[in-house]
């Protein structure tokens, strides 16, 4: 019975896979990943004219000849190893043009770890057939380039939140700042309703072996959480959070879908991920105090203590929830709520005079009682 059940499941899976691919039709070619160095025997999509070639240049240069599908924008995901002094310049040269258009001057961030950047080129900027040029400076090693053709869709979004520019086939959502090819923007503090998002880092900071941040709070929160982006942390490593000398625990670090090109999967590098990963953790509110607080982040390797990798952190923030301020009671009384005057009473009625007579002493009261015939005849 077990073998029969597994066979049925396997057959159903294969049928669903074939049916899904048949239904997608031409969309199968909308996504293509090129590993470098390129395998000449690897099938290539119809919109790529031959394998990538090394273009003549003073530095490392790779060229992809492309025929963009009409009306489609091109999303590129580059996976590369950074070292000190490296750079990655991206250019697009239309057929018949002698001068390429610079799409991004430099995608590198100076981290010195495997990294990943996204870049969006609009259909209008592509303008037809042409060549994508990757210009590497220094000892830059591009491991992978993922091509994905995207088109406009209509969506609803809150007016108070950013709208993703691109949602990839692997469910990755990207904002405009993620795909414009420029330096990453600085994160800003936010206050919305009762929640404060306090930024703790202004740029990428080295996490190895630990990093201490010193946020100052005006008052203690009722709820709190910590979040950040991590790069260079192996998939079997942990980043622990210690607040005011009290261990909170390891951050919950996101493991992106295996469709993400950041999973290197190279021999000896199976546990490395290129690019930034989200991480967060709940922080017991009683650990945070008014005034200066110590937030320690520590890279730990419970599986392999021999790791000597370099790791970075950016966009670290504390999310703090505070109670709503207590409302003061409204002591004013509208005229319509004033008590109605008693019947027959007019505004000209004189108020009763106050009682000013001083009460008599007990002895005087008794003498007056007997003087007025009190008690009757004896």
pLDDT tens readout for residues 94-151:
999 999 999 999 999 989 899 999 999 999 999 999 999 999 876 768 999 999 999 8
Give the pLDDT band (50/70/90) at residue 20. very low
pLDDT category, 300, cuts 50, 70, 90?
A: very high
pTM attached to this predicted model: 0.76
Average pLDDT over residues 58-74: 89
The pLDDT value given to residue 7: 42
CA atoms within 13 A on the CB side of 23: 6
**Residue 340 pLDDT grade (very low, low, confident, very high; cuts 50, 70, 90):** low
Give the residue from 115, 105, 102, 112 showing the smallest Cα distance to 142.
Answer: 115
Structure tokens at 349: 């009625």
Interatomic CA distance for residues 281 and 198, integer angstroms: 15
Q: What is the mean pLDDT of residues 213-221?
A: 95
64 φ/ψ angles, rounded to the nearest 5 degrees: -115, 120
Sign of the torsion formed by the C-alpha atoms of 254, 305, 82 and 140: negative
What integer pLDDT is reported at residue 97 of this predicted model? Answer: 92
pLDDT given at position 10: 45
The fraction of the chain above a pLDDT of 70, given in percent, is 75
* Residue with the two structure tokens 């091509």: 147
Check residue 333 and give its pLDDT: 56
Of residues 245 and 187, more confidence is placed in: 245
Domains plus CATH for the chain? 28-153+161-179 (2.60.120), 190-321 (2.60.120.1200)
Quick one: how far is CA 243 from the chain centroid? 22
The token pair that represents 216 in the structure block? 């100052």
Query: What stretches of 238-287 adopt beta strand conformation (E)?
Result: 238-243, 246-250, 252-253, 276-282
Q: pLDDT tens for residues 252-290?
A: 999 999 999 999 988 888 999 999 999 999 999 999 999
Residue 194's CB is within 10 A of a number of other CB atoms, namely 14
* 18 pLDDT higher than 50: no
Give the mean pLDDT of the chain: 83
Q: Residue 339's pLDDT band (boundaries 50, 70, 90)?
A: low
């Amino acid at each position: 019975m077990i073998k029969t059940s597994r066979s049925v499941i396997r057959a159903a899976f294969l049928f669903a896979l074939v049916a899904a691919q048949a239904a997608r039709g031409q969309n199968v070619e909308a996504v293509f990943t090129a590993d470098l160095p390129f395998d000449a025997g690897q099938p290539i999509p119809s919109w790529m004219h031959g394998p990538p070639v090394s273009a003549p240049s003073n530095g490392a240069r790779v060229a992809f000849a492309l025929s963009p599908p009409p009306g489609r924008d091109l999303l590129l995901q580059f996976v590369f190893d950074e070292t000190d002094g490296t750079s990655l310049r991206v250019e697009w040269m239309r057929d018949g043009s002698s001068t390429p258009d610079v799409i991004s001057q430099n995608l590198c961030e100076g981290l010195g770890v495997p990294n990943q950047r996204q870049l969006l080129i609009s259909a209008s900027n592509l303008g037809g057939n042409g060549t994508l040029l990757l210009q590497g400076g220094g000892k830059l090693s591009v491991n992978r380039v993922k091509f994905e053709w995207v088109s406009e869709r209509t969506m609803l979004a809150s007016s108070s939140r950013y709208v993703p520019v691109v949602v990839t086939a692997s469910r990755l959502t990207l904002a405009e700042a993620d795909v414009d090819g420029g330096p990453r923007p600085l994160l800003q503090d936010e206050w919305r309703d009762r929640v404060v998002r306090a930024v703790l880092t202004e740029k990428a900071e080295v996490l190895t072996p630990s990093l201490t941040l010193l946020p100052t709070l005006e008052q203690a929160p009722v709820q709190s959480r910590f979040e950040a982006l991590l790069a260079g942390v192996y998939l079997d490593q942990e980043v622990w959070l210690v607040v005011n000398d009290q261990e909170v625990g390891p951050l919950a670090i996101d493991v992106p879908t295996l469709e993400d090109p950041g999973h290197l999967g190279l021999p000896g590098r199976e546990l490395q991920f290129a690019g930034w990963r989200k991480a967060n953790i709940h922080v017991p509110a009683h650990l945070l105090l008014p005034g200066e607080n110590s937030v320690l982040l520590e890279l730990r390797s419970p599986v392999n203590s021999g790791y000597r990798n370099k790791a970075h952190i950016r966009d670290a923030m504390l999310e703090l929830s505070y109670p709503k301020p207590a409302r003061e009671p409204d002591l004013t009384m509208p005229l319509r709520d004033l008590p109605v005057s008693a019947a027959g009473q007019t505004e000209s009625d004189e108020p009763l005079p106050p009682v000013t007579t001083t009460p008599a002493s007990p002895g005087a009261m008794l003498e007056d009682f007997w003087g007025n015939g009190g008690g009757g005849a004896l």
